[in-house]
Amino acid sequence: MLSRFSNLSHKRILHIADLLLEDDDDGSAEDRYDGKAGAQATELTYSGEQAIFNLSRTSTFLYKFLSSYLFRNITLRNSAKSGQAVQYLCSTSQIANIKTLHFKGKTPAKEEEDFRTFESIFPAEVNDILSNLSRFPCLATLIIDFDVEDHWTEVFYDLWRFDTSEGEEEIKKAEEQKLWRALIKKTLEAISTTCSDSVRDFVFKQYPILPNSVLGSVPFNEWLGKLESFRFELYGRCSIGQQTDALGVMNRRFHMTPQFPTYFDKLDYYFLDAIRNVTRLAIVGDEQGVIGRTFWPPARFPLRTTHVPKLKELELGYFSIQADLLDFLVAHSSTLEHLIFNNSFLECTQNSESSCVAPGTWKSWFQDYASQGPRALQRVTFLPYRETGGPLYCSKEFNLSIKQSQFDVERKAEMKKHRMFLYGMIEPECGTLVWLNHIITQRLLEEDLDGWYELMAVVTRNRERVKGEWILDASGDVSNVRHG
């Protein structure tokens, strides 16, 4: 059996590994080492990675050959044991196989005795890893993920400040007194000091929307300036408990916190001014923290026309589609190739207690964008609607996920390339997103598609032109091919 595996070609083995990973959610794994000399214990969370691990143990040849799969994604937690595990891995030849490092920063809950000091939530071993990322020669992607749910009480208090601002001294004081704020500061401080030049992709997940003394600093901005891909996922939701509706029924309501729009007023200072070399950008909110001009309280649109001059791919999650966005897209017409809408919506206004009015339509927005001649645009994607979790303040008789599923079935049955375009409203009392059933249903298969097809005609022409340029340049230097 082992000899049969050994006789397989390298290409065949890699094909087997790819098949095993096909069903993984994100292809990641948690590889843990106990730090003892020569001893290692590997816990693999996903079935595909586990299958590869089992296969690699059948022979020394396969273990050596499949190492690039086994160790490409490493998870680091803010515990001494996890830090020691990765330190041990760094002392082996497997360090060259690590392409992605995912740091999961668990914030301290009050009832946890192990999290009483800063050393307990950010051990020296973890600081050693994050402060010396240059030791990973092939590290390409860094993911920072804070689990703020475990320390909800203090997070809630800081987010729900009606003065909506913290001075420089107040920020430093909070980072000295509150462990979860100190964890965020030290993490950002560490990664911006000696990060490997090979790191080009940065993912920021579940970031609590609060000021931080590291954001905007020279070392952090210099590090951001080296990135080619930046994904920013906000932690925007905040519950204020139970409220009684008109029928006397208790409903859980969510309010967007006052800190959310205040934070977005400084998003350019924190990130966008510095990411000059980024070609792929994603900014994602949620139902309780939508992104756009009409916040409660108001906040300006975060993207300026001068931001991200080399942008090729843009994903907008829970964005309120407004004129400011069109101005930004037009300014990047010569570079932007792929536009992704992730639960983004055209915002409507409420003119009475029972009716909402759309000041514009997706049709007009598509037509306006197409008329501006986005000459580099080759793809526009509307991701299927997906709830971010938690109860929503929305129409009880309308389940948007079910509507999406029904629409997909009908579309496939009719062999039509239709899309479901979302309309929403910012709830005036809470500042959260309300999906508008009647407008979405009304527009589902009607005039919005006309505008969509006009934009797709532009996309098709761009694709054909780019394809022709590649063909014309086939006999020359492909590095000189123009895209847009």
Cβ proximity of 305 and 327 under 8 Å: yes
Q: What are the CA-CA distances from residue 422 to residues 179, 260, 361, 362, 393 (Å)? A: 40, 23, 10, 9, 16
| Mean pLDDT, residues 455-461 taken together | 94
Tell me the β-bridge partners of 242: 252
Looking at residue 309, its pLDDT comes to 96
- The model's confidence at residue 449, banded by pLDDT at 50, 70 and 90, is confident
Strands 433-435 and 423-426: what pairing? Answer: antiparallel
Looking at residue 148, its pLDDT comes to 63
| Mean pLDDT, residues 240-256 taken together | 43
Report if residue 269 sits inside a domain: yes
Looking at residue 476, its pLDDT comes to 41
Is 458's pLDDT higher than 80?
Answer: yes
- The model's confidence at residue 4, banded by pLDDT at 50, 70 and 90, is very low
Report if residue 465 sits inside a domain: no
Looking at residue 478, its pLDDT comes to 36
| Mean pLDDT, residues 108-128 taken together | 72
- The model's confidence at residue 288, banded by pLDDT at 50, 70 and 90, is low
Mean pLDDT: which of 121-130, 168-177, 408-417 is highest?
121-130
In 202-220, which positions are buried (b, 16+ CB within 10 angstroms) versus exposed (e)? bbbbbbbbbbbbbbbeeeb
In 84-102, which positions are buried (b, 16+ CB within 10 angstroms) versus exposed (e)? bbbbbbbeeebbebbbbbb
**Omega within 30 of 0 (cis) for the link into 309:** no
* Residue scoring higher pLDDT (195 or 253): 195
Residues 6+ apart with CB under 8 A from 387: 287, 400, 401
**Rg, C-alpha atoms of the chain:** 25
| Mean pLDDT, residues 433-461 taken together | 76
Looking at residue 315, its pLDDT comes to 96
Looking at residue 329, its pLDDT comes to 96
Pull the structure tokens for residue 415. 């062999």
Query: Which stretch of 24-38, 126-140, 316-330 has the lowest confidence by average pLDDT?
Result: 24-38
Cβ proximity of 243 and 250 under 8 Å: yes
**Span 166-185, pLDDT tens digits:** 778 888 888 888 877 888 89
Looking at residue 245, its pLDDT comes to 41
Is 26's pLDDT higher than 50?
Answer: no
* Residue scoring higher pLDDT (102 or 19): 102
Is 301's pLDDT higher than 70?
Answer: yes
Report if residue 474 sits inside a domain: no
Looking at residue 30, its pLDDT comes to 34
Looking at residue 477, its pLDDT comes to 40
Is 47's pLDDT higher than 60?
Answer: no
| Mean pLDDT, residues 107-116 taken together | 54
* Residue scoring higher pLDDT (375 or 417): 375
Query: Which stretch of 116-125, 182-191, 223-232, 362-371 has the lowest confidence by average pLDDT?
Result: 116-125
- Tell me the C-alpha distance between 450 and 11, whole Å: 46
Residue type at 89 in one-letter notation: L
- Tell me the C-alpha distance between 390 and 93, whole Å: 44
Pull the structure tokens for residue 202. 């940065």
- Tell me the C-alpha distance between 125 and 83, whole Å: 5
Query: Percent of the chain having pLDDT more than 70?
Result: 55
Is 236's pLDDT higher than 80?
Answer: no
Pull the structure tokens for residue 367. 């037509």
| Mean pLDDT, residues 322-339 taken together | 92
Tokens 């916040």 locate to 295
Query: Which stretch of 23-27, 55-59, 161-165, 289-293 has the lowest confidence by average pLDDT?
Result: 23-27
- The model's confidence at residue 254, banded by pLDDT at 50, 70 and 90, is very low
Q: Which helix (H) or strand (E) holds 83?
A: helix 80-90
Report if residue 272 sits inside a domain: yes
Pull the structure tokens for residue 445. 């298969």
- The model's confidence at residue 155, banded by pLDDT at 50, 70 and 90, is low
| Mean pLDDT, residues 461-478 taken together | 67
- The model's confidence at residue 93, banded by pLDDT at 50, 70 and 90, is confident
- Tell me the C-alpha distance between 184 and 408, whole Å: 41
Report if residue 16 sits inside a domain: yes
Report if residue 439 sits inside a domain: yes
Cβ proximity of 230 and 282 under 8 Å: yes
**Span 335-377, pLDDT tens digits:** 999 999 988 888 776 555 455 555 678 888 999 999 999 999 9
Is 101's pLDDT higher than 80?
Answer: yes
- Arithmetic mean of pLDDT over the chain: 72
* Residue scoring higher pLDDT (62 or 102): 102
* Structural domain of 444: 2-454
Looking at residue 461, its pLDDT comes to 94
Is 439's pLDDT higher than 90?
Answer: no
Report if residue 469 sits inside a domain: no
- Tell me the C-alpha distance between 262 and 184, whole Å: 19
Cβ proximity of 75 and 26 under 8 Å: no
Report if residue 311 sits inside a domain: yes
Looking at residue 247, its pLDDT comes to 41
Number of domains in the chain: 1
End-to-end CA distance of the chain: 53
- What number of other Cβ atoms are within 10 A of residue 309's Cβ? 15
Looking at residue 271, its pLDDT comes to 92
Strands 280-284 and 229-235: what pairing? Answer: parallel
Is 208's pLDDT higher than 50?
Answer: yes
Cβ proximity of 449 and 420 under 8 Å: no
